[in-house]
């Protein structure tokens, strides 16, 4: 559920010129925001991680859980007695036991493994890959399966990755035993985390608000309403020659200003940055979106700078020779 903590010293990998992010997942952010003390949050975290492990293990065993968003109540003096819809849907519609007992509590809602897959399909134009061979590492005297997953957003041409570490051994009352599906669990959790990390935060917030108020979970209509996934499968152009991209002068002026500002912050030549952006992003819209993100987020700017450095190291193709002095170029013989 949560990727390796910083104290576990997981090294950042480099994927397609972009540094793998090590930030917490959406669910971890949610735990940070709920009104509980640190000890209570630690307990919640362990319970949610345990439940996520059970969900993945059940699915590997052929059992499917139809609930794509989990809803877990926890007793807390900082909460309240009645949470409306969140209490209503508990216990198969019978209601939340805390509300029935008149006890203050909080509800922690989030997205599990199956929910992440549903959200990805509702978003559209996202591809996810998982390394076929996770690494079994020893850290702090424990064996840990380290799995890596990578997701690419075809809307924005952004790629990020996530590591996840799952302990090989499990402590039980009868002793320590080996987890049968530890490697697969690590892969599944890494995949879940990278999907949730790449999905637009405003869209995820809208989907979660829908659930909390009794709406449809991961409604694809929300995707289009928020301006994403207007065409998951673009229709082929009717004309063989595509139309030239038309850019309004005021839009171009604003874009050029943003590029100049970003080039200054990155410490590179603005013309070189323009060439890099044109080679990396197909449209002005994509270039503008990514330049704006880099200007407003330090980690995104660092990722773009790393990609730029990889791009600038590429060796240009050698010019073809004019062997016969005809003004035409020909490939030299092998």
Q: What is the pLDDT of residues 323-334, one digit of tens each?
A: 555 555 545 444
Please name every residue paired with 73 in a beta bridge, in sequence order, or none if there are none.
Answer: 107
Contacts of 244 (CB under 8 A, 6+ apart): none
Residues 181 and 86 in one domain: yes
Residue 319, classified by CB atoms within 10 Å of its CB into exposed (0-12), middle (13-18) or buried (19+), is: exposed
Residue 265 lies in a domain: yes
- pLDDT > 80? residue 108: yes
Residues 134 and 258 in one domain: no
Same domain, 85 and 16: yes
Residue span of the structural domain in which 296 resides: 249-313
User: What's the confidence (pLDDT) of residue 14?
Assistant: 30
Residue 208 lies in a domain: no
Task: Please state the pTM of the whole predicted model.
Answer: 0.58
Contact 155, 224 (CB under 8 A): no
Average pLDDT on 317-323 reads 55
Q: State the total domains in the chain.
A: 2
Say what the pLDDT of residue 111 is: 92
- Reported as a single tens digit per residue, the pLDDT across 132-143 is 677 888 888 888
- Mean pLDDT over each residue of the chain, to the nearest integer: 78
pLDDT for 10 equals 32
Segment 153-193, tens digit of pLDDT: 988 889 999 888 888 888 778 888 888 888 889 999 999 99
Write down which residue in 156, 180, 198 finishes a domain: 198
Q: With 80 as the cut, is the pLDDT of residue 237 above it?
A: no
Confirm whether 210 is domain-assigned: no
* pLDDT class of 6 with cuts at 50, 70, 90: very low
Find how far residue 158's CA is from the centre of its chain: 10
Greatest distance between any 2 Cα atoms in the chain: 94
From 136, 165, 198, give the residue that closes a domain: 198
Same domain, 125 and 273: no
How does DSSP assign 240-308, residue by residue? SSPPPPP--HHHHHHHHHHHHHHHHHHTS-HHHHHHHHHHH-SSHHHHHHHHHHHHH-HHHHHHHHHHH
259-300 pLDDT, tens digit each: 888 889 888 888 888 888 888 877 777 788 788 888 888 888
Q: Kindly state whether residues 54 and 191 are assigned to the same domain.
A: yes
Q: Please, what is the Cα angle at 297 between 296 and 300, to 5 degrees?
A: 125
Report d(CA 65, CA 114) in Å as an integer: 8
Does the structure show a pLDDT above 50 at 19?
no
| pLDDT value at residue 17 | 30
Asked whether residue 74 is assigned to any structural domain, the reply reads yes
- 164 and 63 in a single domain? The answer is yes
20-38 pLDDT, tens digit per residue, is 333 334 344 445 456 667 7
Q: Which residue would you say has higher pLDDT here, 268 or 249?
A: 268
| Predicted pLDDT of residue 26 | 39
């Amino acid at each position: 559920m949560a990727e390796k903590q910083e104290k576990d010293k997981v090294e950042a990998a480099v994927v397609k010129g972009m540094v793998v992010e090590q930030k917490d997942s959406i669910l971890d952010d949610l735990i940070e925001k709920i009104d509980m003390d640190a000890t209570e949050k630690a307990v919640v975290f362990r319970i949610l991680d345990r439940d996520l492990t059970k969900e993945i293990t059940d699915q590997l065993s052929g059992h499917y859980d139809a609930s794509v968003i989990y809803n877990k109540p926890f007793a807390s003096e900082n909460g309240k007695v009645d949470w409306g819809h969140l209490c209503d849907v508990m216990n198969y519609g019978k209601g939340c036991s805390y509300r029935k007992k008149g006890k203050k509590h909080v509800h922690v809602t989030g997205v599990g493994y199956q929910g992440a897959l549903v959200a990805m399909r509702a978003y559209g134009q996202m591809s996810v890959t998982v390394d076929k061979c996770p690494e079994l590492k020893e850290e702090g005297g424990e064996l840990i399966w380290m799995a890596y997953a990578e997701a690419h957003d075809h809307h924005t041409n952004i790629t990020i990755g996530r590591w996840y570490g799952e302990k090989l051994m499990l402590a039980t009352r009868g002793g320590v035993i080996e987890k049968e599906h530890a490697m697969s669990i690590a892969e599944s959790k890494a995949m879940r985390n990278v999907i949730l990390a790449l999905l637009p935060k405003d869209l995820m917030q809208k989907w979660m608000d829908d659930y909390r108020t009794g709406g449809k979970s991961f409604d694809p209509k929300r995707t289009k309403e928020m301006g994403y996934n207007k065409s998951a499968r673009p229709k082929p152009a009717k004309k063989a020659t595509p139309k030239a991209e038309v850019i309004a002068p005021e839009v171009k002026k604003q874009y050029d200003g943003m590029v100049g500002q970003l080039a200054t912050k990155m410490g590179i030549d603005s013309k070189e940055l323009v060439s890099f952006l044109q080679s990396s992003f197909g449209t002005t819209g994509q270039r503008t979106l990514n330049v704006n993100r880099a200007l407003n987020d330090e980690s995104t700017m660092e990722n773009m700078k790393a990609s730029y450095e990889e791009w600038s190291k590429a060796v240009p193709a050698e010019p073809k020779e004019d062997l016969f002095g005809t003004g035409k170029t020909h490939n030299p013989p092998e």
